Amino acid sequence: MTTSSNLVWLIALPLICSALLLLAGKRANAWGHLVATAVSASAFAIGVVELFAMLGRDVQDRPVTQKVFTWISVGDFKVDASLLLDQLSICFVLLITGVGTLIHIYSIAYMSHDRDRRRFFAYLNLFIAAMLLLVLGDSYLNLYVGWEGVGLASYLLIGFWNEKPAYATAAKKAFIANRVGDVGLSLAIMIAFATFGDVTFKGIQAQADQASSSAMTAIGLMLLLAAVGKSAQFPLQAWLGDAMAGPTPVSALIHAATMVTAGVYLITRSNFIFDAAPTAQLVVIIIGVITLLFGAVIGMAKDDIKKALAASTMSQIGYMILATGLGPIGYAFAIMHLLTHGFFKASMFLGAGSVMHGMKDEVNMRKYGGIGKFMPFTFITFGLGYLAIIGVPPFSGFYSKDKIIETAFNAGGLKGVLLGVATLFGATLTAFYMTRVVIMTFFGNERWGHKDEPHESPALMLIPISLLSIGSVASGFLLYRNHALEYWLKPIVNPAGEQHLEELVQPIVVSALAVTAVIIGVSIAIKKYRGEISSEAPVKVNLLTKAARRDLYQDDFNESVFMRPGQSVVKSLLNFDYKVLDGLVRLVGGISIGAGQSLRKFQNGYVRSYALMMVVGVLALLITVWLMSS
Amino acid sequence: MLNTALEIGTTQQPEAVMFWFLAPLSVLAALGMLLVKKAVHSALLLAWVMITLAIFYIAQEALFLGIVQIVVYTGAVMMLFLFILMLVGVESSDSLIESIKGLRAIAITAAIGIGGLLVALISRATLGRESVGLARANQDGNAFGLAVEIFTRHVWAFEIISALLITAALGAMVLAHSQRNKSKFVQRDQSIARFRKPSLAEAAGLPGSGVYALHNAVDVPALLPDGKAAPTSISPVLEARGDMMESKKFEMKPAEEEER
Amino acid sequence: MSIANYLYLSAILFTIGAVGVVVRRNAIVVFMCIELMLNAANLAFVTFARINGNLDGQVVAFFTMVVAACEVVVGLAIIVTIYRSRRSASVDDASLLKR
């Protein structure tokens, strides 16, 4: 296998830069953001160089490894901190560093008025380093380090404006929800180690066919728990909406394009485990379907533009998870959708940021309206992202989503039909809520009241948006053409060369169905939001809307099922601790103190009282003698 | 009978008379030691107890010990006590009011218990044979018998004891010796100190006692030129002991002076 | 008269001495009470010698006297030293251990 000494720099550069920015303090205020951006760009350059090097090699020689150092060496157990760059990782490396660099550039302008811009860039670089470690680790343990690192970076960035208690709470919520998933990942690693005695991907893959299916299912389900936590899937999705408390570039980079897709990466990377565990795969599919509909329903009711986009992210990742559950065929399409989604969702988030920039940080879409003519450039780029996400040909989302719908139909039998219909329905909902977002933001009556007219954002923000828009327009076709991504990833995710089971539904029919679904969704939305839109959210709405506005009662569910019983358990434990345990301790202490106080009276310092004690002792001796002799 | 109580024989009639006469006296003297207020009186009562004990020793055919008791204890040790009393303890009259709560009651209760138990245990003790008497052991004289014992069987203990005695004497010397850490207060210093006092009244030296030698003059204060008694002329020790004579009757009366 | 009476007398004197040690405060009187206790023990030894018909008891009594003399010498030296520094012969005043 080819080795390379460049890989470590991918991680080390942003990590060193992050440390530098944090340690240098105010001195780095003037140039910190520039260095951070340059570092991110150079990481992208390394990625491009590696991509071309990889293209120049034969298929079997393409993966590149680098052993950085021996991390753990205990008897037979040995873990190296080594990196693996293969066809799958390179996709992520380019996405992370490419989108990351654009968002760095965007942030220079977006955060220019923030006192803590330097700290922001330090965290961004920390995130880049951790995310690269996540995708480059050659074992689950290395991946775990990156996994925790991105969790930390996400926490720091969501709570970046932690002077607002709500934002700090949102950061904590995200962190805690992620911890639940992290427990799953650590359990998965432990089970894997117990089963295989190895934690590297390569080592486990080599032994995958020898393991029992129950062990595989256990590992698979635990990995899925990890993915569910990190990717905001049902039932751990509640944190993503609140995570929008972070600055918009963070939402674009971490909570749309890269970190939340780490779950998809994890499942794809562990394809050899899931392929051997059909039960786990089925659960993956179910989670994916639930989340894609769940997110879409929430997205339909949200008036906060960032939360609507977050719900959309959740739904789109649901598509990806669903695809990964569909086996070797699905992985490539999941990754394809992940990449295109990375482009168009980042572009739309940055567009939303641009709108907020022009609207004095207003996020409520009911206070927008008719912005299109004031911010034409933002409107056009956002529109391109919109066309991509709803799946209008030939924009990128069409290709990637279409393939997922097709794969779903081809899952076979009733399952295939159900999944296909669900994905089509999801596409309709997506079309509806995204059209709603666009209409409420860029068309219709102006509802921002007495505020100043919105203004277009500076060029430094528009350039990254436009580059991402190009990606969201073209990436789908480029990746789809000649099965480019499918073949590229084949050695990793589909080594057996599996094909579609049966061509149940012709691709052209699927495309027609998908486009029809989109047209239905768009037209319903246009019909509903054509007229005047109230600047206040209507109160008399149906139950589903009410539920969706409250994130389908996810928070209420968590509160009533986990929080309140947890609190009462803690309270009772606290009471127990205070009353019983502390009571016992205090009792023991009281007894000692009391005994000490009473014994202290004997130690009064007077020689005569000590002599008296001797006399009493003699008396006791004599009594003993008396009793023994009688 | 031997197993039930300490049947150790009886004494001659004269010895019994002596015992019943002296034993209560010694117990009374011992009790008196506890009850009298002044340490000197305690010492004298103790001396009396020791003398009665010496008599008992002699009565019990321990002539040498009896003599030693009188010579060493009553003579030397008690003199040492009195000497130290003269040195330190005369002024400190011991109040008999107990300062530690409950101590006296507990002490007396415990003592009654101990005494009662000791007496009871002695009365229950059995020896297993008749009292022998010292007629055979003392056939060459008590001092001779004792000397044989000490210098044969107990010679090792005797040597150890003598080493202990020497060590104790040395230790006492070391303890009693105080390192002088400032220069001696000599006559010159005293003269200077006298003239440095606020008033020059005592610059000529303190008055001597007993100006009117009608009495054992040490305990009578001198009279000052104005006819008043001078308390400083008497040793504070005498004053503490209450041995100071009243000097009122020797003071000059102003009225008589006018008549002349 | 029974010879045991000497032993009873010895026990009584010993007890009185013990009470004296506890009750009196003047260090010299305390010492004298200790002497009283030693003497009471000596009386018992002498009586035992008479009962047993050998001189061992008297030898021990003799040694006791010597030890008592040593003790008096050292003890009185200590009292003098304490008196010199604290101007008091009361055992209650030497209660620094209390604090």
- What's the pLDDT band for B3 if we cut at 50, 70, 90? very low
The answer on pLDDT for A516 being more than 80 is: yes
pLDDT surpasses 80 at B256: no
Q: Are strands A64-74 and A2-3 parallel, antiparallel or unpaired?
A: parallel
Q: Is the peptide bond before B221 cis (omega within 30 degrees of 0)?
A: no
Model confidence at B210: pLDDT above 70? no
pLDDT tens readout for residues A277-321:
888 888 999 999 999 888 888 888 888 888 888 888 989 999 999
- Per 3-state DSSP, chain B is made up of helix, strand and coil in percentages (nearest 5) of 60, 0, 40
**pLDDT: is B214 or A521 the higher one?**
A521
Residues in chain C: 99
Query: Which residues on C lie below 8 Å from B33 (Cβ)?
Result: 16, 20, 29, 32-33, 36
Q: Does A604 touch chain C (CB under 8 A)?
A: yes
User: How confident is the model over A532-579, as pLDDT tens digits?
Assistant: 777 777 777 777 777 777 777 777 777 788 788 888 999 999 998 888
Task: Supply the pLDDT for residue C16.
Answer: 94
Instruction: Give me the percent of chain B exceeding a pLDDT of 90.
Output: 30
Nearest CA in chain B to A623: B117
CATH fold, domain C1-84, is Helix Hairpins (1.10.287)
Overall average pLDDT of the A43-67 stretch: 86
Cα distance between residue A357 and residue A453, in whole Å: 12
**pLDDT, tens digit (0-9, with 9 covering 90-100), for A384-399:** 989 888 888 888 888 8
Check B168 against C73: CB less than 8 A apart. yes
Residue B259 has pLDDT above 70, yes or no: no
pLDDT in tens, A454-502: 788 888 888 888 888 888 888 888 888 877 787 788 888 777 766 655 5
Give all chains having 3 or more CB-to-CB distances under 8 Å with chain B: A, C
| Smallest Cα distance from B132 to chain A, Å | 26
Report the chain A residue with the minimal C-alpha distance to residue C91: A607
Cβ contacts of residue B245 below 8 Å, gap of 6+?
A: B215, B219, B220, B221
Q: Which tens digits make up the pLDDT trace of A319-342?
A: 999 988 888 888 888 888 899 998
In this structure, of A109-123, A269-283, A437-451, A570-584, the range with the lowest mean pLDDT score is: A437-451
Residue C40 — pLDDT band, cuts 50, 70, 90? very high
| In chain B, residues 187-246 whose CB comes closer than 8 Å to chain C | none
The confidence band for B254, taking pLDDT boundaries of 50, 70 and 90, is low
Neighbours of A340 (CB within 10 A): 30
Query: Which residues are CB-neighbours of B130 under 8 A, at least 6 positions away?
Result: B2, B7, B8, B9
- Residue with the bigger pLDDT between A59 and A157: it is A157
- Angle at alpha carbon of residue B112, lines to B111 and B113, rounded to 5°: 90
Nearest CA in chain B to A605: B100
Instruction: Report pLDDT for B77.
Output: 87
The pLDDT value recorded for residue A594 is 93
- Using N-to-C axis directions, what is the helix angle for A376-390 and A328-358, rounded to 10°? 160
**Is the Cβ of B120 closer than 8 Å to some Cβ of chain A?**
yes
Question: Quick one: which of A300, A343, A340 has its CA closest to A320?
Answer: A340
Using a 10 angstrom Cβ sphere, with 0-12 exposed, 13-18 middle and 19 or more buried, the burial of residue B5 is middle
Task: Summarize pLDDT for A155-177 with one digit per residue, the tens.
Answer: 999 888 888 888 888 888 889 88
Asked if A607 and C23 come within 8 Å (Cβ–Cβ), the reply is: no
Cβ–Cβ below 8 Å for B103 and A604: no
Model confidence over C13-32: pLDDT tens digits? 999 999 999 988 888 889 99
Mean model confidence pLDDT for chain A: 86
H or E stretch at B64: helix B63-68
Assess whether pLDDT exceeds 80 at residue A361.
no
A622 has a pLDDT exceeding 90:
yes
What pLDDT is attached to residue B50? 93
Q: Is the pLDDT of residue B1 over 50?
A: no
- How far is C62 from chain A, CA to nearest CA, in Å? 25
* pLDDT of amino acid C10: 94
Q: How far is CA A594 from CA A574, A579, A587, A601, C8, in A?
A: 27, 20, 10, 11, 43
Classified as helix, coil or strand, B96 is coil
Give the ipTM: 0.92
In chain C, whose CA is at the least distance from the CA of B87? C80
Q: What is the pLDDT of residue B5?
A: 44
Q: pTM value?
A: 0.62
